[in-house]
């Protein structure tokens, strides 16, 4: 049990005691360089996705900067433990949605706590006229303040929703403050964040690696430990599909939407359209994207397809294709949406409010299109049973075993 004592903080392998936890950051603990990994990924100065542009006008996403691992290996700085870790997420963000889905499917709700930030970006240093950063903020449950977009237009937006929370640990007002508290010097303040409550630092902000950790490292505590979303026999197939779905679809929608030249857009939309058709072809022949079993690759694909018609077709100009117009992909999305615990991770209202109201450069007055009510379509019966039977068998309690909502109870996504 290694003990460190610096700046009035007593640190052990199992707990931390501090009189002022908000002032703690990872540099204080001087953790071994082999176990603490923070990449200098944002030296370009990118602070939001809108800043990640190349000279030719194409969108170039910057890699996540915090890349530590929770591991069951002996001596791990971040071992899996119940109630030690916390997720900061947004319902709106597809990368964060990956982690919410994986946590729900594995049954880790009582193991890893969650705070959901507000959907509409606001100024993160509102009292500093020289700081122009806009980003994720926490709910404000007490002021009743009415908000506009970061340009002072649009809205009005509430300062809280029932499902969004204030920061439970540090009274931080924005996700930026969590990064700064952890000693971040890179300046791209994204969700999801996998946070260690005991050492009070960021473990990871790379969603693809967080979902792998949630799948494999917490089975001792999970209510559905038998579900393996990255089975050994499908890993090669998963890596193969991920390798082209990520750049051309997951990130491809952003490459279309944030392109700043016609040439950059044309390249991105051609590659997205080809990938969309390739996904459709694969899923016309098998139930899931990597084979006959639901995997992390399906989670990665679903969160993009879920947002495609309601947001990306309009906002990101991906209108060469539509999920609703593809019987294969619509039924694939229905199949996943109707799995136990998945629908509760979906908030289409916050998805749309984030995209259409957070970027005044793209939508000055933050007007939200009505849309096709795609989530209503997902509640209709799917036809995927004939293509395979290996949906995850999720353990649910008696109070979760409820019939699907009636048509009258379906709430509009607007």
What string of H, E and C letters represents the secondary structure of 223-250? CCCCCCCCCHHHHHHHHHHHHHHHHHHH
Query: Residue 352, preceding bond cis, omega within 30 degrees?
Result: no
Query: Residue 192, preceding bond cis, omega within 30 degrees?
Result: yes
pLDDT at position 43: 44
Residue among 85, 88, 91, 93 flagged as catalytic: 93
Backbone φ/ψ region at 57: left (φ over 0), alpha (ψ -120 to 50), beta: left
Alpha-helical segments (H) within 123-261: 175-181, 207-216, 235-245, 252-257
Alpha-helical segments (H) within 286-358: 296-307, 313-315, 327-337, 348-357
pLDDT at position 179: 96
Q: Is 85 a catalytic residue?
A: no
Residue whose entry in the numeric block shows the structure tokens 């084979």: 291
- Which are the contacts of 328, defined by CB distance < 8 A and separation ≥ 6? 280, 283, 284
Q: Is 256 a catalytic residue?
A: no
Task: Show pLDDT as tens, one digit a residue, over the chain (414 residues).
Answer: 333 332 333 333 333 333 333 333 333 333 333 345 555 444 445 556 666 666 777 656 566 678 899 999 999 999 999 999 999 999 999 999 999 999 999 999 999 999 999 999 999 999 999 999 999 999 999 988 999 999 999 999 999 999 999 999 999 999 999 999 999 987 789 999 999 999 999 999 999 999 999 999 999 999 999 999 999 999 999 999 999 999 999 999 999 999 999 999 999 999 999 999 999 999 999 999 999 999 999 999 999 999 999 999 999 999 999 999 999 999 999 999 999 999 999 999 999 999 999 999 999 999 999 999 999 999 999 999 988 656 676 665 555 554 444 333 333 333
**pTM greater than 0.75 (yes/no):** yes
pLDDT at position 34: 34
* Helix (H), strand (E) at residue 87: strand 85-89
Residue among 246, 254, 337, 355 flagged as catalytic: 254
pLDDT at position 30: 35
CA-wise closest residue to 297 among 213, 217, 226, 211: 211
pLDDT at position 66: 87
pLDDT at position 61: 55
Q: How far is CA 105 from the centre of its chain?
A: 15
Strands 134-135 and 9-11: unpaired
């Amino acid at each position: 049990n290694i003990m460190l004592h610096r700046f009035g903080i007593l640190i052990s392998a199992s707990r931390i005691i501090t009189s002022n936890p908000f002032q703690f950051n990872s540099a204080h603990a001087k953790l071994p360089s082999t176990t603490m990994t923070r990449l200098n990924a944002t030296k370009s100065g990118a602070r939001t996705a809108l800043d990640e542009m190349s000279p030719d006008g194409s969108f170039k996403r910057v890699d996540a900067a915090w890349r530590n691992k929770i591991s069951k290996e002996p001596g791990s700085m971040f071992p899996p433990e119940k109630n030690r870790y916390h997720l900061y997420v947004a319902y709106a963000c597809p990368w964060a949605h990956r982690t919410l889905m994986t946590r729900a499917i594995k049954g880790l709700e009582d193991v890893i706590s969650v705070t959901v930030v507000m959907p509409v970006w606001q100024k993160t240093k509102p009292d500093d006229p020289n700081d122009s950063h806009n980003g994720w903020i926490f709910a404000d449950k007490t002021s009743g303040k009415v908000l506009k977009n970061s340009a002072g237009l649009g809205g009005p937006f509430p300062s809280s929703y029932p499902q969004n929370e204030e920061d439970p640990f540090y009274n931080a007002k924005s996700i930026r403050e969590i990064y700064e508290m952890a000693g971040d010097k890179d300046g791209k303040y994204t969700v999801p964040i996998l946070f260690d409550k005991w050492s009070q630092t960021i473990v990871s902000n790379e969603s693809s690696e967080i979902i792998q950790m949630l799948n494999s490292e917490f089975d001792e505590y999970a209510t559905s430990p038998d579900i393996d979303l990255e089975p050994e026999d499908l890993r090669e197939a998963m890596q193969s599909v991920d390798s082209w779905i990520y750049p051309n679809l997951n990130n491809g929608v952003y490459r279309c939407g944030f392109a700043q030249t016609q040439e950059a857009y044309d390249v991105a939309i051609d590659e997205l359209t080809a990938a969309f058709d390739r996904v459709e072809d694969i899923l016309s022949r098998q139930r899931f994207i990597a084979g006959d079993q639901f995997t992390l690759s399906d989670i990665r694909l679903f969160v993009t397809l879920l947002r495609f018609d309601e947001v990306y077709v309009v906002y990101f100009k991906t209108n060469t294709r539509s999920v609703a117009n593809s019987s294969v992909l619509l039924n694939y999305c229905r199949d996943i949406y109707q799995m136990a615990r998945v629908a509760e991770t979906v908030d289409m209202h916050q998805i749309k409010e984030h995209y259409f109201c957070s970027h005044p450069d793209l939508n000055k007055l933050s007007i939200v299109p009505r849309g096709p009510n795609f989530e209503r379509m997902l509640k209709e019966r799917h036809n995927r049973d004939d293509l395979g039977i290996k949906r995850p068998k999720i353990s649910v309690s008696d109070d979760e075993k409820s019939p699907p909502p009636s048509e009258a109870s379906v709430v509009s996504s607007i």
